[in-house]
Chains A and B, each alone.
Chain A
C-alpha cells in the first residue's frame, strides 16, 4: 500500500510555549487552558500511529539569514539538530528524518508538480518547528515517536509566497505522499499565527473574530482563504499573522472527505493561539 496522509493539524507555534514547557509551567493557570486542549489531541494522534510528520513552519533567523532566504525549503536529511535561536539550545533530542521519503517528495514535487524547493541536507530546528512537536508528541530521552520532514516557508521577508501558492503546494504534497511506494502513515502540521503583530505602535494587536472566521473557513471553505492577500491578512490580523498561509499547505494536503476533530482558541498575551485538527480516512 502506498503512503497516505491520515491527519492534518493547524496550530500556532508561539515561542513562549517552549519556554513554559521547558520550565515545567504548562500546568500553571496561565498555560493550563492550552495544555489541556492538547491532551485529547496527543491521544488521538497516538491512536493514528503516524510514521512521519511533515511540519510546515518558518525559520525565524535561526538557520536561514537574509544573505540567503529561501521561499520554500525542505529537509532531506537523516536527522535534524536543535537550533540556538539566540536564547540557548533547548534540551530536546534531535529529530529523526526520513531521507528516502524526503528524496521522493523532492523528486515528485520538483519533477511532477513543478515546485522548485530549496533542498537542505542540514537544518537546525527552532521554535516554529519544535513548539508544535512539543504540543503534539511526547519525546523520550533519545527521540520522538515520529520521523519528520521539515518544510520551511518564507513568511518574514516580503515578497512571500501567496496563500494560493501555499494551498497548491499542499495539493501537490498530497499527490507526492500518495505516490511513495512504502506504507507510511503521514500527518501534516501547518504551523504559525493566528492574529498577532510584534512591532510598531500596533504591537500586541489581535483580532479574535478574524481568527474564529479563519478557523471556520479552514474547515468549510479553504479555497476562499486561499484568496486572501498578504495585505488583507496584515491589515485585519496584524503583520505577523501572515504565518497563517502555512495552514493552507496543510489544508491543501487533505482530501475533501477530511473531517474536523478538535478545535481550540486561546489568546492570553499577544497572539491568538489556534488549533484545529482533521482526520483523513
Chain B
C-alpha cells in the first residue's frame, strides 16, 4: 500500500512533511510581500522566527536545494524561497541535477520557453 522509493526522486509524503514542517512553514510565509522584504532584510532573524534547526539554517544559507528537498522541503514551497533569493526553478533544477544552468538548458527541447 505504501509507496516504493524511485531513484533520483523525492516522494513528498507525511513523513517528509513532518520532517520539513518548519522549512515549509517558513517558505509558505513568503506569500506576503512584507515577509519577503523582511526575509531579504535579515535572513538570520527570519529563520529564527520559524525556529529552524542549525542544519536547516545551513541549507538555506548555502542555497542547497537538493539538501532542502532531502530535509523535507516540498518543491512548490521551495519555489518561494527560490524566488526570494533569485533562483528560478530551472536554476534550482540544474543544481539538483549536478549540472551548470547552461548544460541543463542544452538538454531541453526549446529552452526559450522559460
Contacts and interface: CB of A to CB of B under 8 A. Distances in A.
Q: Is the interface of A mostly helix, strand, loop or mixed?
A: loop
A67 B77 CA distance: 13
Interface string A238-266: 11100000000000000000000000000
Contact of B13 (A29, A60, A83, A159): A159
A25 to B, nearest CB: 9
Given A157-B17, A204-B104, A66 B25 contact: yes
B3 A158 contact: yes
Contacts of A61: 24, 27-28, 31, 74, 76-77, 80
Nearest to B21: A66
A157 B14 contact: yes
B98 to A, nearest CB: 7
A231 B31 contact: no
Contacts of A234: 3, 6, 9, 11
A24 interface: no
Interface string B67-85: 0010000111111100110
A86 B74 CA distance: 14
A219 interface: no
Interface string B5-26: 0111111111001000100110
Interface in A196-213: 197-204
Contact of B8 (A60, A157, A201, A267): A201
Contacts of A270: 89-90, 93, 108
B25 A268 contact: no
A103 interface: no
A66 B24 contact: yes
For the side of the interface on A, what is the size category? 35 or more
Interface string A135-168: 0000000000000000000001111000000000
Contacts of B21: 66
Contacts of A84: 31-33
Report which residue of B9, B17, B114 has the largest number of chain A beta carbons within 10 angstroms of its beta carbon.
B9
Interface in B26-40: 27-28, 30-33, 36
B62 interface: no
A159 B14 contact: yes
B58 interface: no
Contact of B31 (A29, A83, A157): A83
Contacts of A158: 3, 11-14
A86 B79 contact: yes
A65 interface: yes
A86 B66 CA distance: 20
Nearest to B70: A200
B52 interface: no
Contacts of A16: 113-114
7 contacts: A30-B113, A60-B76, A86-B30, A156-B12, A202-B6, A202-B7, A202-B8
User: Nearest 3 pairs between A and B by C-beta?
Assistant: A86-B80, A201-B8, A268-B110
Interface of B: 3-4, 6-14, 17, 21, 24-25, 27-28, 30-33, 36, 66, 69, 74-80, 83-84, 89-90, 93-94, 96-98, 104, 107-114
